[in-house]
Structure 1
Amino acid sequence: MRWTWILFAIITADAAPVNNGEQAACKSPIQRKAWHNLTKEEKKSYIDAEKCLMSLPAKLGLTGARTRFDEFQKIHVLHTPLIHGVGAFLPYHRYYIQAHETALRTECHYAGAQPYWDEARDAGNFSKSILLDPETGFGGDGVGPNKCIADGPFKDYVNSIGPGENITDHCIDRQINDCMSEGAAQQNVDACMKMKTFESAWNCMEAMPHSSGHSGINGQMMNVFSSPGDPLFYLHHAYLDRIWWQWQSKNLSSRLTEVTGRNQGGFFFPVSSNGTILGPFSRGDISGCDPFPGFPGGPGGPGGFPGFPGFPPPQNGPWVKIDGDPANITTLGHVINVEGSIPNVTIKDVMNIQGDVLCYEYI
């Protein structure tokens, strides 16, 4: 554990010691860039690093995981019921992406930062995104009965985690849905930026644009548990983290300490009782979209949302105690557990992306 802390400190910040022995705040943040703006060499470097994680043997002892890439997916599976539809949704995924970035940099000799997918550029047209390019991207849509991706650098990867909580060997599958990707429109992002409280902003972001990145890619990405099995997951959630940071930056004096919400959720994203996705959407009303045939609540599908495969049921049972929280409410003391991939921290530690623990910026 001591060496884990040392590596983590080296890779996350150019921080200088201060007189009291504590780590100083971030001085030279690494730059997270949009995939659209990376050079071919930068894109190749990132993809090679992700393939490296797919080749390294698992080391955390998590059931079903064969590789380091699988382990990150398994971490998400284990924590799914407590990191969606809850106050920790944004902080947890911020640190989870940090854990993935740290592994790329410490274990796979990656010199860059975690890129993000600027999804608003591709809203309504995911199928034509440069991220799906077979040569300089992540490969395209799924084909055949199992909707396996057929080109690109990850087409032959056999995933051992998922679907859902299952442990089975399967391909990375996609069903690109341009209609559902309409929800990633900049107007919807702008609507979230106007929210005045953490609770309203988080609910807006988790509903849209978060849901559109998942449902626009579909397949593996649409499974609330095992969605990190598609490498696009990390660029999608880096983008969501960027949006949250933009919202925080509008009033840092208060928004670096503002968090609330319950600790047990139940759905992939906030929905109404009849299955309608919540949010103030000025464009990208996806109510007429059919994510795939028979989708509950969609055209041709049985009404309602509960019971959709891959979505955990509402958590109405006994509250699960979260370290750092005195009750079923998210506080700054809430402990974020990433199963030893990097040291556990509290939500307070990750509220600032240029603080004592995190050290990056979005450009």
Structure 2
Amino acid sequence: MRLTWILFAIITADAAPVHNGERAACTSPIQRKAWHTLTREEKKSYIDAEKCLMSLPAKLGLAGPRTRFDEFQKIHVLHAPLIHGVGAFLPYHRYYVQAHETALRTECSYAGAQPYWDEPRDAGNFSKSILLDPETGFGGDGVGPNNCIADGPFKDYMNSVGPGESITDHCIDRQINDCWSEGAAQKNVDACMKITTFESAWNCLEGMPHRSGHRGINGQMMDVFSSPGDPLFYMHHAYLDKLWWQWQSKNLSSRLNEVTGPNQGTFFIPGGVNGRLPIGSPNGTIPGGPNGTFPPFGPFPPGNGSDCNPVPGGFPGFPRLPPPQNGPWIKIDGDPANITTLGHVINVEGMIPNVTIKDVMDIQGDVLCYEYV
């Protein structure tokens, strides 16, 4: 653990401390860029670093993973029911992507920053995205009875974690759906940016922009537990983090301290097979309601995917974790009852040191030090 702290300190060394209660500032933020803007050499460097993580042996002692890459997937599996449909959704995934970036830089000699997928560029046409190029990207669609990706740098990688919470060997699978990817359109992002409160903005961002990225790729990316088994996960969630930072920056002094919501959401929906549930709810909504449950996603402009054919397999749910109405709650360190606060502890199983939500509200503060360009 001491070595982990030292490496994390090195990677965030340009972050300055808070003085007199003022916002901390990092002096030399690394630049997270859109994949579309990277040079061929920059793309290769990132892909090589990801393949490096896939070659390094696991070391956290978690059940299932063989490699460091698998360990990231397992961490997401372990925490999935408490990091979706909850107030910690955006902060947790911000720090989770940071942990991945840190591993690339400290363990795999990667000199760049985590790139992101500028998804509105490809909305409605994910199948033609340059991210799926077999030579300079992540490979294309799945083929055959198991929908395994058949080209690109990750075609032969075998996940040892998933589907869901299971531990099995399986390929990285995709079933790209251009219709569902229409929800990544800029108009849906713009709808979220107009919202003025964190709870509604988080609800909006976790809705159409988030779900469309997962639905558009489908396959493993549609598994709420084990979706990080597809390397596209980190491109997608870096993009979502960019959107949250864009929203925060509209009123930074206030929004650096604004977080709320339940710690246990309503991704429990009865029915389905192996935790995978049918999607077909109208207007892109998921049932929700009062008493600490997660409200419906939206509203969104037309073109939200509600007229698309159902995604095969449906949407993974959490059949073992119904949202309690009045408790007892699963205790989250740093939080009272079922309320997400700035003191909420983000646990990444020792991949990098645990922090609080307050620590990651600012991407150019005393813990994080990056910017989006």
* TM, length-normalised to structure 2: 0.89
Seen in structure 2, the aligned counterparts of structure 1 residues 89 and 293 have a Cα distance that, compared at 3 Å, is closer
Partner of 2:301: 282
Q: Which amino acid aligns with 1:164?
A: G
Seen in structure 2, the aligned counterparts of structure 1 residues 293 and 170 have a Cα distance that, compared at 3 Å, is closer
Partner of 1:272: 287
Deviation per residue, 1:228-257 (Å, 9 max, x gap): 000000000000000000000000110000
Partner of 1:200: 200
Q: How many pairs were matched up?
A: 347
Q: Verify the 8 A CA contact 2:15 2:365 in the aligned structure 1.
A: no
Percent same amino acid at aligned positions? 83
Within 5 Å, which residues of 2 pair with 1:93-242? 93-242=93-242
| Distance in 2 separating the partners of 1:277 and 1:142 | 31
Deviation at 1:5, TM superposition (A): 1.3
Partner of 1:316: 323
For residue 360 of structure 1, the aligned residue among 346, 370, 373 is 370
Deviation at 1:19, TM superposition (A): 9.5
For residue 344 of structure 2, the aligned residue among 315, 329, 334 is 334
Q: Secondary structure at the match of 1:361?
A: strand
Q: Which amino acid aligns with 2:322?
A: Q
> Structure 1 regions of 5+ residues with no counterpart?
296-307
Q: Secondary structure at the match of 2:306?
A: helix
Q: Verify the 8 A CA contact 2:126 2:217 in the aligned structure 1.
A: yes
Seen in structure 2, the aligned counterparts of structure 1 residues 196 and 96 have a Cα distance that, compared at 3 Å, is same
| Distance in 1 separating the partners of 2:131 and 2:13 | 28
Deviation per residue, 1:68-116 (Å, 9 max, x gap): 0000000000000000000000000000000000000000000000000
Deviation at 1:42, TM superposition (A): 0.2
* TM, length-normalised to structure 1: 0.92
| Distance in 1 separating the partners of 2:236 and 2:18 | 36
Q: Verify the 8 A CA contact 1:54 1:69 in the aligned structure 2.
A: yes
Partner of 2:281: none
Q: Verify the 8 A CA contact 2:18 2:366 in the aligned structure 1.
A: no
Within 5 Å, which residues of 2 pair with 1:41-120? 41-120=41-120
Q: Which amino acid aligns with 1:292?
A: V
| Distance in 2 separating the partners of 1:15 and 1:322 | 27
Q: Verify the 8 A CA contact 2:34 2:117 in the aligned structure 1.
A: yes
Seen in structure 2, the aligned counterparts of structure 1 residues 291 and 233 have a Cα distance that, compared at 3 Å, is farther
For residue 355 of structure 2, the aligned residue among 345, 348, 363 is 345
Q: Verify the 8 A CA contact 2:17 2:25 in the aligned structure 1.
A: no
Deviation at 1:4, TM superposition (A): 1.3
Q: Which amino acid aligns with 1:158?
A: M
Q: Which amino acid aligns with 1:287?
A: S
Q: Secondary structure at the match of 2:106?
A: helix
1:292 aligns with 2:311: yes
Q: Verify the 8 A CA contact 1:81 1:266 in the aligned structure 2.
A: no
Q: Which amino acid aligns with 1:284?
A: G
Give the stretch that moved more between structures: 50-59 or 9-18: 9-18
Q: Verify the 8 A CA contact 1:267 1:312 in the aligned structure 2.
A: yes
| Distance in 2 separating the partners of 1:320 and 1:154 | 37
Seen in structure 2, the aligned counterparts of structure 1 residues 326 and 38 have a Cα distance that, compared at 3 Å, is same
| Distance in 2 separating the partners of 1:161 and 1:154 | 16
| Distance in 2 separating the partners of 1:121 and 1:357 | 31
Seen in structure 2, the aligned counterparts of structure 1 residues 119 and 17 have a Cα distance that, compared at 3 Å, is closer
Deviation at 1:282, TM superposition (A): 1.6
| Distance in 1 separating the partners of 2:235 and 2:19 | 38
Deviation at 1:284, TM superposition (A): 2.3
| Distance in 1 separating the partners of 2:19 and 2:205 | 40
Q: Verify the 8 A CA contact 1:13 1:29 in the aligned structure 2.
A: no
Deviation at 1:159, TM superposition (A): 0.4
Deviation at 1:3, TM superposition (A): 2.0
| Distance in 1 separating the partners of 2:250 and 2:221 | 31
Deviation at 1:16, TM superposition (A): 5.5
Partner of 1:254: 254
Q: Secondary structure at the match of 1:286?
A: coil
Q: Secondary structure at the match of 1:287?
A: coil
Give the stretch that moved more between structures: 24-33 or 73-82: 24-33
> Structure 2 regions of 5+ residues with no counterpart?
269-283, 290-294
Q: Secondary structure at the match of 1:209?
A: helix
